[in-house]
Amino acid sequence: MASKTHNRPPGEPASKEEAGSSEAFSGGAESASGDLARRKTAHLDACLEEEVDLGRDSFGEYALRYNALPEMALGDVSLASTFAGKEVAAPLIISCMTGGAGERFERINRNLAIGARELNIPLGLGSMRVLLQHAAAESSFKVRQEAGQVPLIANLGLVSFNHGLVYEDVERIIDMVQPDVFGLHLNALQEVIQEGGDTDFRGLLGHLEHLARRCPLPVYVKECGGGIAPGLVRKLFSAGAAYVDISGNDGTSWAAVEGRLSADPSLGELFRDFGLPTAWILERLSPSVVKGGRVVASGGIRNGLQAVKALALGARWVGVARPFFLAAEHSAEAVVALGSRILTEMRTALFLLGVKTPQALNRSHFLDR
């Protein structure tokens, strides 16, 4: 027999029984919200450790076709792009990371926002479930002033709509954060490893369709480092997603992160490298999906050469997370320095291909592809 959660209209709140041990996010129990806040801090500490980064490069086997006579000047290269209707410096996104109650979260997101403004590239914010439970977390997400006019991506877990979240919470976040895009993340791998995680993923395509119809902002769907298979990318676009971030498993393993926070880390260690490589997903996306949709490639992208390879495989934007987080732990200047290096590497790669814009990249720029 189907559960009540599965049968109720998409976007409607779960009953207390359906939510199980999870409290409604619009005013949950103090103990539940306190646990969430502590877990956010533990996530930050775990992500500082190299052991949670898989360190893969699924783009390593892809060689770009060098053009020894590009018939252009380096200054002819323009990385300019648009995102959410705004002109940005490059198709590079600071991916969704963190947020919570306390000075550390405020400092990290402030440094990211200042860096995004100086670089003129979009910024994704961390999961805002904690904001709905903790009034003190609001200041870590309200970075519009620091970010200026660069596009901001809000962020909630799609599974949370099976565990107490309602559409009015989306409206609250839009009012508070003033994002340009509303992000919904998929994280089945993380939730099943996390002790007490939200593991009822039934009916979520219906929730996505409902949200996409009602939300006044473009909807951005992403994974959290496990990857989105090509067939599911197509379904997400069909359900109303304006952007799909495939977030492959070349970089941070959230199974490893949650395993480190668990009383028994063995499950997290077993599944630490479970998922789909970033380049593998892009290689198998059909041209019709790539051409008609807005695909973002993230997951283990650490430099501009990988970014250009991802764009040549069909992505329209690339996202970088953990390297920017490590920089933001230090300063906004470190964020700008990292972003500037990646942009320089991207310009260099385009020049050596004889290509003036990222939009002109395609698979013919690879050897034997």
pLDDT digits (tens, 9 = 90+) for 122-170: 999 999 999 998 899 999 999 999 999 999 999 999 999 999 999 999 9
pLDDT band at 1; cut points 50, 70, 90? very low
pLDDT number for residue 6: 35
Q: Given a cut of 80, is residue 7 above it in pLDDT?
A: no
Please say whether the beta carbons of 366 and 64 come within 8 A: yes
Q: Which of 29-38, 39-48, 176-185 has the lowest mean pLDDT?
A: 29-38
191, 35 Cβ separation under 8 angstroms: no
At 187, list the tokens. Answer: 């994280």
Set out the domains of the chain in order of their start, with CATH numbers. 23-365 (3.20.20.70)
pLDDT of residue 286: 86
pLDDT exceeds cutoff 60 at 322: yes
Q: Give the DSSP H or E segment for 243.
A: strand 243-245
CA distance 62 to 76: 25
- pLDDT computed for residue 20 by the predictor: 34
In the block, which residue shows the tokens 């077993």?
270
Cβ–Cβ < 8 Å for 325, 97 = yes
Euclidean distance between CA atoms 101 and 95, whole angstroms: 20
Query: Of 13, 47, 5, 24, nearest to 224 (Cα)?
Result: 47
Average pLDDT over residues 179-194: 97
Distance (Å, whole) CA 82 – CA 316: 10
Contact in structure between 145 and 111 (CB atoms under 8 Å): no
Mean pLDDT of the region 312-317: 96
Tokens 């020049």 -> residue:
351
Q: What is the pLDDT of residue 369?
A: 64
Are the beta carbons of 198 and 191 closer than 8 angstroms?
yes
Report residue 229 as tokens.
């298979």
CA gap 223, 185 in Å, rounded: 5
3-class SS of residue 65: coil
